[in-house]
A and B are shown apart, each in its own frame.
Chain A
């Protein structure tokens, strides 16, 4: 249980003035050099444009310009029935894609007061953790490339492929699977999944040791990361940061364990991984340790996976099983109504946050009682954590700015939506 008794000290000396998310150069020194990092820069992890002002090699001004991959997901979802909106969601945070699906389904289920079978919740846990591992692997691989270590990228992407194979095995798609549905998951786990999953877990455990060997004692790595971009817990909370970045600063806040967790985590239990130093190194290590913790969780879920249905039996929400369509008129009608009209969700406002690979991923869903959401606000963790970036870069060298950006792990699909 994550409990702390520390209180945030609120007067805000540590927050940038006048704009908390932008570092403005102090003087009008004519020697200052303004450069654009991005939008097409390999270390911006997408299309982020960082307007950087340099005094020599020291960063004195940072401004993040976002919006390059804005695709209007929120507006699009307003035009779709709840059922048809699900595939949009994983496309925002495309690295921990399954978290997005789950968050959307959980928000809808909350508004519907719909109960999800336990087996489905546990299967969701398995895939949420796999998506988290996938995201952290990409983070680790690309992050190490940003710091000049190319080897880890190949190690990580090889392991990432194994994880994606599991998704393919269960639902046919490697990314953006649309496996999570309102009321459960689309299908039960296929035969042989458990064995394959255990093989991947064993493989991953071995890999994680290698990652630690690659970065843990590497003097160049340590020189680039230790003590760089230190994020204090107070500042992180003030800037709304959640997820691994916050935990790397020593705050054991994880929605999987806060208030007892949500969904399957309630049964499985989880203890947050934390690091104390809050620097770039801690942010890398907390994610590697989280991968280990995720593997433990998956193994625990596989061990005790409850029997039973994987989809709610509420036919007003869930599609009837395929075989019933050939024999039952009612099932056919339900199928037709669900696919064409969708289901109606009671009018009201819910906010359902879950812990994605980057932090609190929340869906603020406003329903007007019809079959389409009135408004969906996607609260992506990357959008929020990018606000702290400017402060972290105050007075560092340009090369460290790259390391800091890599370590806070923004995904621009999530930022721009």
Chain B
């Protein structure tokens, strides 16, 4: 089993639990709310107010020099089990659209949005093990996440996309505009309550 997983996902290296230990030793035990390991990937759930602090620590002390991804996930109506927060028996795929066309589900889980950042070690590696690590914070509608741009400049486009597609505010981002949708677009298309079909065609009234 473990050998097979190595074949499928060696790009993560071994789960970096030591880094999590060191974070808690340096920044206090409450800097990490929860550790989640799934398929060899370690995710650290952080309190929102410690997010930047922990990321800076990862950058400066742990050598995570590459920010490889920032993902915003809308957990509205999520019924599966993830992160040990809530249980469920999965989604009935024969049900009508889960994306809000007919069913507007209630938000499940600690908060509605999960914002996760995945880091990798590239140039600081000395033992040949390019490890990866993911941190995650949870926010509700209307709450804002501190921007990672001052720490990792490459978070720029990722966070703009998160704002554009999911409507999550990144406080302190120097240029938080829509990136993919037009500037005057209404709504945030990747939210689960944004319809997939049948929505009014935007910009059609100006013709």
Binding site for B on A (CB under 8 A): 1-8, 10, 12, 15, 18-22, 66-67, 70, 72, 74-75, 78-79, 81, 106, 109-111, 113-116, 121, 233, 237-242, 251, 253, 255, 258-263, 266, 341-342, 344, 347-354, 360, 362, 364, 366-372, 374-375, 377, 379, 383-384, 386-387, 416-417
Interface of A is mostly: loop
- A260 and B90 CA atoms in complex are apart in Å by 35
Q: Are B154 and A238 in contact (CB under 8 A)?
A: yes
Q: Which residues of B lie under 8 Å from residue A78 when comparing CB positions? A: 99
Q: Are A20 and B129 in contact (CB under 8 A)?
A: no
A286 CB, min distance to chain B CBs, angstroms: 17
Q: Which residues of A lie under 8 Å from residue B26 when comparing CB positions? A: none
Is B203 positioned at the interface, with any CB of A under 8 Å from its CB?
Answer: no
Q: Which residues of A lie under 8 Å from residue B182 when comparing CB positions? A: 67
A sample of 8 inter-chain contacts (CB < 8 A) reads: A18-B175, A19-B175, A21-B175, A75-B190, A349-B83, A368-B88, A372-B91, A417-B180
Q: Which residues of A lie under 8 Å from residue B10 when comparing CB positions? A: 259-262, 266
- A362 and B12 CA atoms in complex are apart in Å by 12
Other-chain contact of A242, B4, B66, B127 (Cβ < 8 Å): B66
Is B27 positioned at the interface, with any CB of A under 8 Å from its CB?
Answer: no
Q: Are A67 and B180 in contact (CB under 8 A)?
A: yes
Q: Are A374 and B78 in contact (CB under 8 A)?
A: yes
B149 to A, closest residue via Cβ: A20
Q: Are B153 and A351 in contact (CB under 8 A)?
A: no
Q: Which residues of B lie under 8 Å from residue A362 when comparing CB positions? A: 68-69, 118
Other-chain contact of B73, A10, A21, A375 (Cβ < 8 Å): A375
Query: C-beta contact mask, B68-95 vs A, less than 8 Å → 1, else 0?
Result: 1101011000111111000011111110
Q: Are B156 and A8 in contact (CB under 8 A)?
A: no
Is B39 positioned at the interface, with any CB of A under 8 Å from its CB?
Answer: yes
Q: Are B156 and A259 in contact (CB under 8 A)?
A: no
Q: Are A116 and B93 in contact (CB under 8 A)?
A: no
Other-chain contact of B157, A81, A364, A386 (Cβ < 8 Å): A386
Query: A67-B179, A72-B189, A375-B73 given as contacts; is B93 within 8 A of A237 (CB)?
Result: no
- A66 and B153 CA atoms in complex are apart in Å by 18
Q: Which residues of B lie under 8 Å from residue A366 when comparing CB positions? A: 73, 82
- A172 and B59 CA atoms in complex are apart in Å by 47
Q: Are B66 and A67 in contact (CB under 8 A)?
A: no
Query: A240-B154, A386-B157 given as contacts; is B190 within 8 A of A351 (CB)?
Result: no
B118 to A, closest residue via Cβ: A351
Query: A239-B153, A349-B38, A350-B41 given as contacts; is B93 within 8 A of A364 (CB)?
Result: no
Which 8 pairs of residues, A with B, have the shortest CB-CB distance?
A368-B80, A240-B154, A347-B80, A369-B90, A20-B153, A370-B91, A369-B80, A67-B180
Is B142 positioned at the interface, with any CB of A under 8 Å from its CB?
Answer: no
Query: C-beta contact mask, B97-136 vs A, less than 8 Å → 1, else 0?
Result: 1010000000000000000101000111111111010100
Other-chain contact of B90, A12, A241, A341, A370 (Cβ < 8 Å): A370
Q: Which residues of B lie under 8 Å from residue A368 when comparing CB positions? A: 78-80, 82, 88, 90-91
Q: Which residues of B lie under 8 Å from residue A364 when comparing CB positions? A: 69, 71, 116, 118
Q: Are B82 and A349 in contact (CB under 8 A)?
A: yes
Q: Are A262 and B154 in contact (CB under 8 A)?
A: no
Q: Are B123 and A237 in contact (CB under 8 A)?
A: yes
Q: Are A75 and B181 in contact (CB under 8 A)?
A: no
Query: A239-B154, A371-B93, A372-B93 given as contacts; is B4 within 8 A of A353 (CB)?
Result: no
Q: Known pairs A266-B6, A351-B41. 18 more at Cβ < 8 A?
A: A3-B127, A12-B153, A74-B165, A111-B39, A121-B7, A239-B154, A240-B154, A259-B13, A259-B128, A342-B93, A347-B80, A348-B39, A352-B9, A368-B82, A369-B88, A370-B92, A372-B91, A383-B161
Query: A1-B128, A239-B154 given as contacts; is B90 within 8 A of A7 (CB)?
Result: no
Q: Are B93 and A341 in contact (CB under 8 A)?
A: yes
Query: A8-B124, A66-B180 given as contacts; is B9 within 8 A of A350 (CB)?
Result: yes
A359 CB, min distance to chain B CBs, angstroms: 10
- A377 and B79 CA atoms in complex are apart in Å by 19
Other-chain contact of A7, B63, B69, B93, B116 (Cβ < 8 Å): B63
